[in-house]
Structure 1
Amino acid sequence: MRRFLLAVLACLGLTAGALVAASPAYAAVFQTYGSGVNVRADAYLSSAVVGTLSGPTSIDVDCQKSGDLVSNSDGTSSWWAYVPALGGYVTVVYVAVPEDKLPGVPECGSEPPAGDITLADVQAMFGSRIANPSLVETGLPSLNQAMRDAQINTPYRKAAFLATLVHESRLEYNIREIGDTRPYGGRGYIQLTGDFNYGPAGQYFGIDLLGNPDLAMSLQWSAPIARWYWTVARDINPYADNLDMGRVNAAIGYPAGTEDQRRCDSFKAAVNYLTGSVPSGVICTRPSALNGDTSKLTRTQFETLAKQGSGLG
C-alpha cells in the first residue's frame, strides 16, 4: 500500500520530499493510508487513543519521536508523527513513505511539555525518598503521560498521586516489593497486588498480566497500570480534590496506621511545593469504616463504604 500510494504521487509529479518542501517551515505534509488508524496521546501503544483516521488522510506533521514498534504487512517502524491538528501521534508505519522514519522532519524536542513533573520537582517535594534519581528520571515521561491520561492535572491531584507513588515505589517504575515472593505480589509504581488486580488490569490493557506479572514493572506498562488503578479500579481524583488523603490512602488498599500520617505529610509537602502554601482542611484520617484492609473490595463496594461510613470491622 505504501508503494502504491507513492506510485500515485509520482504520477502526479509529487514525492514526499516535494510535499515537505511545499509545506510551512513548522510542518511537513504527508499522506496516511488504511482505515481505523489510531491517533494516540503519545508514541506508545499504551497511550490513550485521542482520535481515529477513518481513511487515507493528509496530515501536517510538526515533528517525530521514537516510541513503540508497530508492524504491518508493509514493514515496521518505531517512529511516530506528531500532528498538532489531531492532538496526538500517528505511527509512521501507516504513512505513505518508503522509509521507517519520515524524511526531512525533525525529532520532537526533549523539553517536557509545560506542566509536566520533572526530576527536580519530585526531589524538591520528597527529598531523600527519591533514592535513585536516574531511574526516576527514566520513568517520568511515561508517568507524566499517565497523569495526563488520568486527568491528574491540578496541584491537589498531582500531589496526592505522587505522594502515593513515592511511598509505594519511591517513584521507581520497575520496583518489586522487597521480600514479597507471591506470584502476584507488589510490582511497579502502584505496587499492583493480588490476582484480583492483575487479572482486571491485564484485561483492560489487553495483556496477560496473570501469565506475565513482571509486565507490571516494565517501563511500558508500570505507569499505565498506576493510572488504571487510580481511575478504573478506584476513582481517586475526587478524594484528592477534597484534600481527603484519608480516603486516598484507604483506596490504595492497606489497613490504617502510622503510614497514613506519613503519606499525608508527603501530600502536604507536595501541595506546598506546587502552590506555595498548605491549604486548611487537609484530612489525614480515614472514616472508621475504612480502617481495615480494603484491597479486595470492588470499586462499588469501596465507594459504598466511603459514602456511608459503615461496614468494615
Structure 2
Amino acid sequence: MITKEQFQTIVPDVSWKFIEPYLGIYEEVLEKYEINTPLRKAHFLAQISHESGSFRFVIENLNYSAKALFAVFRKYFPTLAAAELCARQPEKIANKVYSSRMGNGDEASGEGWKYRGRGLIQLTGKDNYKAFSADTGQDFVANPDLVTQPEWALSSACWFWKKRKINQFADADDIHMVTKRINGGFNGLEHRQHFLDEYKRLYNIE
C-alpha cells in the first residue's frame, strides 16, 4: 500500500486532498480489472492523473467560450456566430454536441447533458452508462451522478481501460498506444509522460 508520505514525496503534482479518497479503495478496484502489476498501475495512474486534472475533476466541464466551441466542435458550430448562441451554456452545449449519438436521444431529449462525461476517464453517452450498469449491477442510467463518487469514478475508468484492452500496451511500456487508446490521439503526451515517470519511481520501476 502506498503511504501518504511516499505519494507526496514522489508524486508532488497531485494534491493529497484529491487523491486521498481513492487510495483506500484503488488496490481492490484495480485488481478487479486486472490492472495488477506495477507497470500497469503506473500507466493507469499516469493517464487518469492527466485526464482528471490531477484527480480534481470527475465531471465534464462544458463551459466553453464561443472561440473554444468554434475551435473544438466546429462540426456542430461551423461559424463563430453559431457558437455565440451556445457559448457559456454547458447544458445547451452538451445537448447539441452529444445528441443522437452514443445512444442519446435528440437535442430536445436532454440526454446529451444527462449523460455527459463523468468519472476519472469521462464516461460519456447513454450506451456507455448502460454497459457500465450491466457490468456492475448499479443503475447509472437512472442515476448518472453516481459516477462522480470515488468508487465509481475510479471503477468507470478501470472499466474503460479493460474494455479498450489497454493492459497489453501498458505491459509493453508503450505510452503512445496507451494514450491513443485513451485519447484517440496524442494530446497531452508530454504531461502524461511526466506523470508516468513519477509513478514509475513510486513503484520502483527502472
Aligning the two structures, in what range does the TM-score lie when normalised by the shorter sequence?
0.5 to 0.7
Q: How many angstroms apart in 2 are the aligned matches of 1:270 and 1:159?
A: 5
1:250 maps onto 2:133 in alignment? no
- The structure with the largest alpha-carbon Rg is 1
Higher strand share: 1
Q: How many angstroms apart in 1 are the aligned matches of 2:53 and 2:6?
A: 14
**SS of corresponding position for 1:124:** helix
> Which residue number corresponds to residue 31 of structure 2?
148
**SS of corresponding position for 1:151:** coil
Which runs of structure 2 are paired with 1:1-313 in the superposition (5 Å)?
116-128=1-13, 130-131=14-15, 133-170=16-53, 172=55, 175-179=58-62, 181=90, 182-231=113-162, 233-257=163-187, 259-275=188-204, 277=206
Q: When the two structures are superposed, what TM-score results if normalisation uses the length of structure 2?
A: 0.66
* Deviating 4+ runs (over 4 angstroms): none
- State how many pairs are aligned: 158
Q: How many angstroms apart in 2 are the aligned matches of 1:152 and 1:122?
A: 19
Q: How many angstroms apart in 1 are the aligned matches of 2:53 and 2:20?
A: 12
Q: How many angstroms apart in 1 are the aligned matches of 2:120 and 2:61?
A: 14
Residue 143 of structure 1 deviates from its aligned partner by 1.8
Q: How many angstroms apart in 1 are the aligned matches of 2:139 and 2:204?
A: 40
Deviates more, 1:175-184 or 1:186-195: 175-184
State the one-letter code of the partner of 1:192.
Answer: L
Residue 163 of structure 1 deviates from its aligned partner by 0.3
Structure 1: runs of 5+ lacking an equivalent: 1-115, 278-313
Q: How many angstroms apart in 2 are the aligned matches of 1:251 and 1:157?
A: 14
**SS of corresponding position for 1:240:** helix
- Mark the CA change 1:173 to 1:215 in structure 2 (over 3 Å): closer, same or farther: farther
Instruction: Give the superposed CA RMSD.
Output: 2.3
Q: How many angstroms apart in 2 are the aligned matches of 1:235 and 1:207?
A: 23
**Percent identity over paired residues:** 31
Q: How many angstroms apart in 1 are the aligned matches of 2:136 and 2:56?
A: 17
**SS of corresponding position for 2:156:** helix
Residue 166 of structure 1 deviates from its aligned partner by 0.7
Alignment deviations for residues 132-166 of structure 1 (CA, whole Å, 9 cap, x no partner): x2342122112221112223232211110110111
Higher helix share: 2
Structure 2: runs of 5+ lacking an equivalent: 64-89, 91-112
Higher relative contact order (CA 8 A, sep 6+): 2
Contact 1:171-1:189 within 8 A present in 2 as well: no
